[in-house]
Structure 1
Amino acid sequence: MGEIITSESNHVVLSPTSRIRDAAPARAIPVPSADPKSSLLMEYVQVLRRHWMAILSCAVAGCVVALALSLLQRPLYRTRASVDIEGLNGDFMNMRAVARTDGSTAEPNEVKQQTEIKLLQSDTLIDSTIQSLLAQGESVTPTNSDVLQRTAQRLHVPGHSQLRFEDVVRDTSKRVKVKPLGMTRLVELSCESTRPDIAARFCNQMIREFETEDIETRAEEAQKTSAWLTRQLADVKAKAEESQRKLQAAVGGNGLMLSQETSSTGEERLRELQEELVKAQADRMQREANIAVAHTAAIDSLPGVQDSPTYRQYETRLAELRGKLAEIVPPLTEQNPKVIHLRSQIQEAEEGLAASRSSSTSRESSELTAAQHRENLLRAAYNAQLATVSTDLQKAAQVSLLRRELESEQQLYQTMLQRAKEAGFASAMQGSTVRIVDPARPSLNPASPNRTADGAAGFALAGVLGAGMFLYRDRTRRVFRLPGETQALLQVQELGVIPHATRTTVAGTRPSYGLVPSLRTADTAMPQVGEAVALTRWEDRSSITAEAYRSTGFSLLLADAQKKSKVYAVSSASDGEGKTTVVSNLGVALSRTRLRILLIDGDLRKPRLHASFGMRMDFGLRNLLRGEIDVTEAAPGSLYRQTPIHNLSIIPAGGGSEDSVELLHSPNVEKLLNRLRTEFDIILVDTPPMLHMADARVLAVRCDGGILVVRAHETDVDQAQAARDIFDSDGIPIVGTILNSFTPTREGLRDYYKSYERYQGDEDGSKVAAA
């Protein structure tokens, strides 16, 4: 019986037991995501799931706008034609030799194909196509298969009137596109026009004009080449005859012919003289060197002196005499006859040696003179032979040049004569290089605007923009959305989560996730006094709303189990967050615990609590605070009114126009609350919003604690934190918060209450089986 139950609203409560006051209040502890990126992604997914209907509406609106815009556009029909542009066979009839230009052999295939594409897109070709079509006239009946376009023309919608033939043709010329088809020679030509027949005609006529222009251009070039070659033949022939005359004059006209053998003999003689001249120059330079050495060095070092036998004989004799003289002197003196005789012999040998040296020097001078004379003679003979050979070579070169010139001009004449004949054949036998693979045919359906693609694009773009707008709004707007966020952001216990009620759950039917309406609010019709509106609602056991209020009431019971009587001020940060509805339903839920519950309408500025139970407001809190009744001496039951719900009483706001602040500062407030504590177990005081009025603060300081009501998707986090700070600054303990009007479907949580529905269905089935 004391087990812990975790409800679908992400807060923890305890099941009712007899030991309520021994239990500790439960707190919802948010579990942080382990992966921030995954958490952010899941947040984005939740935002998209929450606003999927609005995003879908934006996408549908974008699709409608795109279709509307496409209907305002004039439809364009596109036709295509494929052309094979073949290369010219330059070897046929040797046409390559007579063509002045031939890019097909010198350029790569890609360059040639791009060149042909640019030629197809040239203004000259487009202008000639326009002129040809205008000259042909409108040969077919205008056709238009677009129903909307025909309807717009019949209704004379601006911008959809029938255009003139000339205007359509000129407009079509601006929408011509040419592109290659893959790795082939094929080229695709496409045209767009407001009329499909003109688009096809323009495409086909453009190809015919291109083919005609190609043939005419090449024929004209061949004719110009042939005419130019014919004119040049006469000039070449005249030059050949002139060269013949010059050759005859060069050889003298007597048959004198210079042969290669004659030239070779003179050159051989010239080479021999050159070799002899070089040798004579070397001999002369050698002898000049010997003479120069004789003047500067010892004469004994001359080669001629060293090689003379007489010189060697005197030199040997002189050495022997000097050796003998050295042997006897000393001890003999110079006056000794042997010494005197040896010295005379030495003198004779020296004189003979000197005479030999003089003879060698004279001989060297004579030989030098002879070498110089021979060199001069060889130089003169070489110069004479060089002059003769040069004259012969010049004359032979001139004759050879004239011969080659004559041969060249004769060969040129023959070649040009042949090319002139070939050019004439080529100009007469021209073939087309353009072959139409697929001619253009009128299209039945317009290519633009593509309403399907436009609608899809508008749908996608508007959907993306809508999703981005909602993502931005949800990321920048800090409001409470999910259970547990109030505890995580306000650091205050979350007592419960009240789902948003949209329709009633009828007993015996499948319960809905929309839940039942909570209780009567100010905008509902005022029921009769005593009508058990709340009782009727709370008897429906299938109501998830009722279960949520029961769970919230039980959390409130556990919030402070030590006090016997509890007085709570229920408030909100701003208006419209449903605190009066929460107070009414929470009072009903608490009354089922057999506790005495009292609801006080402390919102004297805008009282609505009495309307929830169908009561009049002629007597209430204002009357008690004014002192119309002595709250300390009044009889039990005279200060409040019993509702149709058992154990639930109410004190309406009462009648009067006094200032609410003055009444709330009356000492009767404390007296009234002290008196009511003795008669009730729990007292809930419905107070005005806190941020802009002081009424809630004045009442809350006299209560045991405060309860802050926040509305899902509406209450700003900063405002709620400001209200919490006011409670803290005033020393008012905050018992907890209640998240009101939580809508799981807005968060993409369609199965949020599915476990409850399944459990409730099993319970109903068990009851039926038991019956």
Structure 2
Amino acid sequence: MIPIPSQRAEPAMTPDMTLRGPEFDASAIRNGAVSIITMVISTIRRRRWVILGAIGGSILLGILLTILMTPRFTASATLEIQRETGSFVNVQGVQQKDSAVDQEFYNTQYGLLQSQTLAERVAADLGLSESPDFFRTVSIKSNQWFDSAGRPLPAMRRARVKAAGSALLKSFAVSPLRLSRLVTISFTYPDPAMAKRVIDTWSSDFVKLTLERRFEMTSYARQFLEGRIKQLRQRIDQGQRDLVDYASREGIINVPVTSNSGGNNGSVSVTERSLVAGNLTMLNDELNKAIAQRVEAESRLNAPGGSVQEALQNGAISTLRQRRTELSAEYARLMVQFEPNYPPAMAVRRQIEQLDAAITREENRVGSSLEQEYKAAARREQDLKAQVAQLKTDFLDQRRRGVEYNVIQRDLDTNQQLYDGLLQRYKEIGIAGGVGANNIVVVDPASVPQSPSSPNLLLNLLAATLLGVILGGGLAFVLEQIDQGLSDPGEVNAYFGIPLLGAIPKVETNALEALSDRKSSLSEAYLSLQTNLAFSTSHGVPRSLAVTSSRPAEGKSTTANALARSLARSVGRVLLIDADMRSPSVHHQLGIENRRGLSNYLSGDDDVTSMIYNTVYPGMDVITAGPHPPSAPDLLTGSRLDNLINQLLEIYQCVVFDIPPVMGLADAPLISSRVEGIIFVIEAHSTQKAMARVALQRLAAAHATIKGAVLTKFNSKRAHYGYGYDYGYGYGYGQEDKAPDA
């Protein structure tokens, strides 16, 4: 059994559309693209007259509008906008580089060129706001702005100027030239001379407006800086007074200090320093020197052999020692020759003793001198320490009292710096405001246009053609959506997931007459249907078949009849059973009576032989539907239908049932579950896809084996893709026997 999709119409997955990992096979994408292209080409081919009609109508309309349009002339001028250089508000490190703000600057200039203020100024300068003719030309009602004689009303001047400016802006355009400072401005108007005047006035007014805006900016800046300078001057004066009063009250005395702060450039800076801090610095330096002297004296005093070293370095002691050495040498020479009691030797010895005493006295004096020097250095150190400690106390006390002094001093310095900076800027603004440099230059002035810029016939025709293509495509799409029938054989498998057994062409003559001609396209189509059906099972054509459709008059009875004829010629004896007991038609097609038939057997009559009718077609017999039963579903729910099929298959090679449509009736699902295969008939260009899908779902729910679909009444000229949904009930009961549904 072939499954029937239950969702909305979507192409069924083919073997080439299997998934490979997370991506679709490239062939699936290619097939989808080909299907879409085929659908578009098919739609264009079928709806070509609609599309061509829309294009033709649009072109005619474009030509007509071009003829009726008023010629308009465009005047243009080229301006050069230089980047503004220099500013009285430049602050280093704050303002952006020119390269970073160029685009912003030029976009601003383009916006100013299209500003409402500039447009109103141009309108006022040219007197357009006072001209009723201008408002009539631009299609603006101006009766409320002028009196009956056409004179402007003074009270409405502002409204007129605003409306005139807006009208000018609608026809004004700005076109910057890429990668340059040039910009082209243009204005379009029915009068070429007026178009030139507008552009000339626009250019000059833009230059004037730029200068005026710059002057207004400097004027405002001057006023602002004057106020700020006045405030800062008052703050500086008050800060100086507060600083002097506080220093006098707290006894803070600062002295100026000059220092070279400029390195090689020789600049000199003057700062203030408190007197206590200066004294403390000076005494601290002296204390450091006293400590060094005391340490040096102490080291000389306490050093091992310190007195001897000092004595050795003493000149008097050195002289005495030298004299003693000489006398000792002389005494030793005398002792070599004389005795110690020798008078000259004794005299020499007494001199030596005197020199030793003198040396001892001198050494004692040197040691006493070192000790006195050390004590003096220690006393001086202590005195300086006491003074430094006192100055430290005074300095810390002054620091505590000088906090407020420093706050006042910092505020005063800050205000002084701000004052100096603003004063410098104020002088620069005065110079810049007097220069009045202009950065707007008219490179190419406007000239009177000689030929109209609009209407452009070629451009209008291209636009009309494009509009026609769009309208034609839209109409074709709408018609495709309205056309809900199945109009292309390739859609059968894509929409329903069942194979297409054959496409039966539509014939202008009676279908039964066309079937009589073995060489007709209709006969060939049904022969192709039989051939495809033979491949649906392993044993060839299913022995029991049922032909149905979703609704009446789709060609199911004709298909059952034609298939039975074709099978009779190829496989042997075939029996055609008209199982549509609600609205039978087989007996009309074959011209036989309908006194006894299927309803009689299902009601309990076992004489099947009396119900079989021979036909003029060799090997083909028929069982008609028989009389109308009260309830066809009740007859079909029993086991007699199964018994009938088994009994007939012993006689015939194939049994073909013409059963009722599926939608709204229970007959088709009841019969379809008893036969080996179902052939589902779909009328091309008419049967709605949704209805056919629902019908197939009902058959699938009844466990029917659907062998495929047959597309009947197919017109190849209308082959396309479409979708639709609609069906109804009420088929069968109370109706008279109808003619063949071919």
1:357 matched to 2:363? The reply is yes
In the alignment, structure 1 residue 183 sits paired with structure 2 residue 193: no
Q: Output aligned runs, 1:271-310, within 5 Å.
A: 295-297=301-303, 300-301=306-307, 304-308=310-314
d(CA) in 2 for partners of 1:219 and 1:738? 87
Q: Deviations over 1:599-633 (max 9, x none)?
A: 22101123333444466656543355557x86256
Choose which of 112, 130, 135 in structure 1 pairs with 2:123: 130
Residue 578 of structure 2 contacts residue 585 of structure 2 at CA under 8 Å; is this kept in 1? yes
Residue in 2 that maps onto 1:120: 113
Please give the alpha-carbon distance, in whole angstroms, between the structure 2 residues aligned to 1:558 and 1:579: 21
The equivalent residue for 2:252 is none
Select the residue among 679, 703, 706 that pairs with 1:727: 703
Match of residue 708 from structure 1: 679
Asked if the contact 1:594/1:647 (under 8 Å) is kept, the reply is: no
Q: Is the 8 A contact 1:569 1:707 kept in 2?
A: yes
2:29 is matched with which residue? 40
Is 1:550–2:550 an aligned residue pair?
no
AA aligned opposite 1:642: T
Deviation string, structure 1 residues 355-396 (Cα, Å, up to 9, x no partner): 12245468889999xxxxxxxxxxxxxxxxxxxxxxxxxxxx
Kept in 2: contact 1:134–1:166 (CA 8 A): no
Look up the SS of the partner of 2:612 in the other structure: coil
CA distance in structure 2 between the aligned counterparts of 1:285 and 1:554, rounded to whole angstroms: 131
User: What per-residue deviation string (whole Å, max 9, x for no partner) do you get for residues 561-606 of structure 1?
Assistant: 9799944333456767643232122123223338333322101123
Alignment of 1:158-173 (within 5 A): 169-173=164-168
Which runs of 5 or more residues in structure 1 are unaligned? 1-28, 91-95, 146-163, 223-280, 323-342, 369-415, 505-516, 521-533, 729-733, 750-771
Aligned partner of residue 727 in structure 1, secondary structure? coil
CA contact 2:573–2:619 (8 Å) conserved in 1: yes
CA gap 1:123/1:617 in 2 versus in 1, 3 angstroms: same
Match of 1:591 in 2: 568
CA distance in structure 1 between the aligned counterparts of 2:212 and 2:539, rounded to whole angstroms: 112
**Is 1:625–1:668's contact at 8 Å kept on the other side of the alignment?**
yes
**CA separation of 1:551/1:168 partners in 2, compared to 1, >3 Å: closer, same or farther?**
same
The separation in 1 between residues aligned to 2:53 and 2:61, in whole angstroms, is 12
Q: 1:81 offset after TM fit, Å?
A: 1.0
Cα displacement (A) at 1:211: 5.3
Query: Aligned partners of 2:571 and 2:558: how far apart in 1?
Result: 21
Letter in 1 for 2:311: V
Relative to structure 1, is the Cα distance of residues 306 and 595 closer, same or farther in structure 2, using a 3 angstrom cutoff?
same
8 Å contact kept, 2:546–2:678: yes
- Looking at structure 1, the residues matched to 351 and 43 of structure 2 have their Cα atoms a distance apart, in angstroms, of 152
Aligned partners of 2:538 and 2:83: how far apart in 1? 105
Give the equivalent residue in structure 1 for 2:582.
605
Alignment-mate amino acid for residue 631 of structure 1: D
1:596 is matched by which residue type in structure 2?
A: R
Q: Find out whether 1:650 has 2:639 as its counterpart.
A: no
Normalising by structure 2, we get a TM-score of 0.51
Match of 1:499 among 487, 500, 503: 503
Contact 2:662–2:668 (CA under 8 A) maintained in structure 1: yes
Flag the 1:346–1:548 CA change in 2: closer, same or farther, 3 A.
Answer: farther
Secondary structure in 2 matching 1:622? helix
Asked if structure 2 preserves the Cα contact closer than 8 Å seen for 1:567 and 1:684, the reply is yes
Contact between 2:211 and 2:438, CA under 8 Å: does it hold in 1?
Answer: yes
Residue 192 to residue 588, structure 1, CA distance change in 2 (3 Å): farther
Q: Hey, what does 1:159 align to over in structure 2? A: none
| Matches of 2:103 and 2:111, distance apart in 1 | 12
Q: How does 1:284-433 map to 2 (within 5 A)?
A: 295-297=301-303, 300-301=306-307, 304-308=310-314, 311-312=317-318, 351-360=357-366, 433=441
Closer, same or farther: CA 679–38 of 1 in aligned 2, 3 Å: closer
Aligned runs of 1:246-265 on 2, under 5 Å?
Answer: none
Alignment of 1:455-466 (within 5 A): 456=466, 459-460=469-470, 463=473
Partner of 2:143: none
1:684 deviates by 0.9
* In structure 1, C-alpha distance between the alignment counterparts of 2:608 and 2:213, rounded to whole Å: 122
The whole-number CA distance in structure 1 between the counterparts of 2:651 and 2:360 is 175
**Residue identity opposite 1:32 in structure 2:** D
Cα distance per residue 1:48-78 (max 9 Å; x no partner): 4235455768978998999999999998968
Q: Distance in 1 between the 2:678 and 2:315 partners?
A: 153
Q: Would the aligned equivalents of 2:321 and 2:359 in 1 still touch at CA under 8 Å?
A: yes
**Alignment partner of 1:539 is 2:548:** no
CA-to-partner distance for each residue in 1:460-502, whole Å, 9 max, x for gaps? Answer: 598599879989x99xx99996399499946xxx5x6221423
**Unpaired segments ≥5 residues, structure 2:** 1-12, 19-23, 91-96, 140-158, 219-286, 329-348, 375-426, 722-742
Partner Cα separation in structure 2 for residue 660 and residue 483 of structure 1 = 34
CA RMSD of aligned residues (A): 6.6
Alpha-carbon shift at residue 43 of structure 1 (Å):
2.4
Change in CA separation of 1:344 and 1:64 when aligned onto 2, cut-off 3 Å: farther
- Equivalence for 1:685: 657
Residue type of the alignment partner of 1:541:
K
Q: TM-score, normalised by structure 1?
A: 0.50
* 1:436-456 CA-partner distances (Å, limit 9, x unpaired): 344364845258996844762
The change in CA–CA distance for 1:578 and 1:686 in structure 2 (over 3 A counts) is same
Amino acid at match of 2:25: P
Cα distance, 1:288 vs structure 2: 7.7
Distance 1:680 1:211, change over 3 A: same
2:454 to 445, 448, 467: 445
Q: Deviations over 1:375-429 (max 9, x none)?
A: xxxxxxxxxxxxxxxxxxxxxxxxxxxxxxxxxxxxxxxxx9xx99xx99x99x9
CA distance in 1, matches of 2:670, 2:367: 154
Q: In terms of mean alpha carbon deviation, does 558-567 or 654-663 score higher?
A: 558-567
- Of all paired residues, the percent bearing the same amino acid is 21
CA separation in 2, counterparts of 1:586 and 1:727?
A: 23
C-alpha separation in 1, matches of 2:575 and 2:653: 8
In 1, the alpha carbon distance for the partners of 2:535 and 2:83 equals: 100
The one-letter code matched in structure 2 to 1:498 is G
Shift of 1:129: 0.8
AA paired with 1:36?
Answer: D
